[in-house]
Amino acid sequence: MTEPKRITDPAEREEQLTTAPNAVPEDANERIELSEGTGGATRIDWSDDAAVRPGDADD
């Protein structure tokens, strides 16, 4: 299985994520932060300013 392409160029990311009808530039904002966690595992955290977050809306 091959790894999916990760879009790292900001212009390419914005173009890809704003082509949908009614899309706005903010749709291309980064929503996750990656860092190294315990034992070298990749830690994934949601950005504090992410408009959409996982979990119940009431959390």
Q: 23 to each of 11, 17, 20, 26, how far by Cα in Å?
A: 15, 8, 5, 8
pLDDT at 4: 67
Q: What residues have CB less than 8 Å from 26, skipping those under 6 apart?
A: 51
pTM: 0.48
Q: What is the pLDDT of residues 1-55, one digit of tens each?
A: 677 677 778 888 888 888 989 988 888 878 888 888 889 888 888 887 777 777 7
CB 30 within 8 A of CB 47: yes
DSSP run (H or E) holding 3: none
What band does 57 get if pLDDT is binned at 50, 70 and 90? low
pLDDT at 1: 62
